[in-house]
Amino acid sequence: MNDLPLTRPLQPKAPPATAGFALWSLGFRPFYLLASLFGAFSVLLWAAQFSGHLSFAYLQGAAWHGHEMLFGYTIAVIAGFLLTAVRAWTNQPTASGGALMALAALWVAGRVLVLTPYALAAAIVNAAFPVAIAVAIGIQLARARNARNYFFVGLLLLMSALVLAVHLSMQGRIELPPRVGLQLALDVVLFIMAVMAGRVIPMFTNNGVRGANATRQALVEKLALGSVILLFVADLLQFPSAVVVMITLAGVLAHGVRLGLWKPWRTLGTPLVWILHAAYAWIVVHLALRGLSAAGLIAASLATHALVIGAIGGLTIGMMTRTARGHTGRPLIADRFEVAMFVLVQLAAAARVFCGIASPASYMLSVELSGLLWAVAFGLYAIRYWPVLTRARLDGKPG
């Protein structure tokens, strides 16, 4: 995707916003707005239900909460990002107008159906959404012969298979624990994040921070991505815990070195960059906690929430902010609202993970606090970016 320098001096004055409703002009617009609204309200409702403050059941158990965070929130952000990025990568038009409305409606239908007794319909619709996005981007990638990014189509199809497996397992149609399907889907999302982080974080760092000198090394890249692939295989084949511990240890070292090569300490004055580094650091934390969990030393949920809140939450809110700014003709500089969002997500992750480790007695309080911080962060995004995402670009360009 196109990236602009993040230097602060001599920023040109932005032209006045043009008139017109532009929500259906490009994929990031509706899906970032839907993801932020859903992320705020669904997590707030779940935290209230989990802690006993909700008089009705929003979701029927923790497995459905995990389902909605992955196949609701996360897949919406991925869809918005890919529909936007593929247009930039291929110079081919991606879904807009009626086609984009239909994709958004399919996603909304999935969120509604999981709350109804129509289990088979929910399974079909939720499995159909990643397939629809795969088709939408796959056609354009093929037309442009952009083989470098074909793997995204395969990963979306794999996500479709996994969401279907989770639904069928919760319906008792197949003998697969739902947690296994959810863990495999988390591994797929982890791989997507690791690939995209390796592409964009060093570039954004060098563009936005003078003298940062973020670098990549081929061997480290292979080891980092390879550790995630091995973790997926271990989870798929249910390898012994000792094997998982060794894989996660290797992953901690590889991803830790990778992050170090990107010089995160030089980004502290540039929020649009440091949020990406902070989110990636949570991947290292996640792998470390997964190893400890496999060894029976901590609860598995702590590792899961390090990934979902810290890494996925941090990376998505960072990219949702950057993409929305860049693709609406705005300068790539975070204001106080955006910095508040970034900090709130980091605090939500820290509260959920470290409070549970430091004081098991405060576990429920950590769930409530984390959910509230997350909801405020994404609620702020929805309020702040509603006019940005629904209005035409400031520079008059399409998109």
Question: Which stretches does DSSP call E strand in the chain?
Answer: none
- In order of 1, 95, 97, 324, 332, the CA distances from 26 in angstroms are 13, 7, 8, 11, 19
The residue written with tokens 């090394």 in the block is 217
DSSP 361: G
DSSP 11: P
Q: What is the pLDDT of residue 6?
A: 34
Q: What is the pLDDT of residue 19?
A: 55
Q: Which residues of 28-56 are buried (b: 16+ CB within 10 A; e: fewer)?
A: bbbbbbbbbbbbbebbbbbbbbbeeeeee
Q: What is the pLDDT of residue 190?
A: 98
Which residues partner with 21 through β-bridges? 391
Q: 40 Cβ partners below 8 Å, 6+ apart? A: 374, 375, 376, 377, 378, 379, 382
For the whole model, what pTM was predicted?
Answer: 0.93
Angle at 29 between CA 309 and CA 199, to 5 degrees: 60
Q: Show pLDDT as tens, one digit a residue, over the chain (399 residues).
A: 444 333 333 333 433 444 589 999 999 999 999 999 999 999 999 999 999 999 899 999 999 999 999 999 999 999 999 999 999 999 999 999 999 999 999 999 999 999 999 999 999 999 999 999 999 999 999 999 999 999 999 999 999 999 999 999 999 999 889 999 999 999 999 999 999 999 999 999 999 999 999 999 999 999 999 999 999 999 999 999 999 999 999 999 999 999 999 999 999 999 999 999 999 999 999 999 999 999 999 999 999 999 999 999 999 999 999 999 999 999 999 999 999 999 999 999 999 999 878 888 889 999 999 999 999 999 999 999 999 999 999 998 888
